[in-house]
Structures are given as structure tokens and as C-alpha cells.
Structure 1
Amino acid sequence: PGVARYFHDLLLSMFVASGVHPRISQYAGQIPTLLALVSAGLGVALVPESASRICPDTVALLPVSEKDPSDRVNRVELDIAWSRETQNPLVPAILALIDEEGGDVAIDALGA
């Protein structure tokens, strides 16, 4: 909760929505640490899908079912900001990737 309050509260709301009341014995702020704790047999963790890239073979990753009642709160909203004067070719590439993946991209022009 001290490192990532938003995600901590999101996960707790997912548990509550599913009628689950976890007994939390460890807090960790980094995904590799969470996966190591799980690998050591010290419980379970909710991690983003991207954790599959670094997941040890001793840990099984299962998706949260879209039928799970917690799915309605299982949403993360991220914002992206960049300078209008940027010449960085990554900006349009990132926006195209977000659009390609089905993300909602709302571009708001900010005044100077």
C-alpha cells in the first residue's frame, strides 16, 4: 500500500466484489518479488498479464475470468502525456500501438 496505493486499493476492491477476504501476510511492490514469493509457496498474487514474460516455470498464471464479479472493477486507467512540439518518433508509434490493442485514446490539447 505504501508503494502503489492505487493498485493496492484496486486489488482489495476486486476481492470484495468477489466475496473474498484475503489474509495478507506479505506486501511486495515489485512483480518479480511477488512471483518469487508465490514460487516459494508463500501464497498467491494478482499480477498483470505482462508478468507472463518473467514468470518462473514453477508458477502457474491463470486469467481472471470475465464472469468473475470483480471484472467490473478490474480496470486500470493510464494517461499518456507528451509535448506538442516533440519530434520523437516513439510518440505516434505508441499511440498507434494503443489504438491497435483496442485502448481508448482521447487526445486532449492542453493550453500553453
Structure 2
Amino acid sequence: MSEIRFAPLARLADAYGTRFAEFAFEPGFVAAVDQHVAELRARLRGPSPDLSAEAPDPEDLSDYALGFLDALEEIGWQEPVGHDYAVCRLTAVCWLVREHRLLEPDVH
């Protein structure tokens, strides 16, 4: 796996992976991130009749994350203290990276 190719995922994991600690005391945040994970899975894999939790393609997820970050930069988004749509989406990307160990060597 190319480290440069997946740099957006590594940066997001470093920046938003710390948000997982908030899951313990913010059930609404957990639910929102869960919905974003489901939306990302559907977006990256397309409609699926089963409920399998297959790992997303790391290249597709990296491309998506890069595009999402670019869009946030274009609108001048600043990370809020709480949780907005962008924080939930970025945390969901991190969750997929962690859950499927996408940054670990020899995964893909």
C-alpha cells in the first residue's frame, strides 16, 4: 500500500480518531457516526442486499476523504467544539479505517 496514496486516511485517523473517546458519553454522536458509516459504505460499494460489513476499498475511501476535505476547505469550514455534519462524516471515515485496519501493512 502506498503511504502517499493513503496519507489522507492517516491524517484523518490522527485528527479525528481521538473523537472515539467521546462515544462513551455522547450516544447521539455515536448514532450520528453510525449513520455516516452506513452512508459511506453504501456510497463506496453501491447498493447491497446484504448487511455484510465488508471493508471499503482503501483507495476509494482515500479518494472520498480527499474530495470531502477539499470541499470543506473551499467553504472555509472550521472544526466546531461540538459535532456537525462534517465532524460526524470525518469521524465515520476514521471509524472505517480503524475497524477494517486499513492502514496496517498487509491488509490489502
Give the TM-score normalised by the residue count of structure 2.
Answer: 0.26
Which structure's relative contact order is higher, taking Cα pairs within 8 Å and 6+ residues apart? 2
| Structure number with higher helix proportion | 2
User: Greater CA radius of gyration, 1 or 2?
Assistant: 1
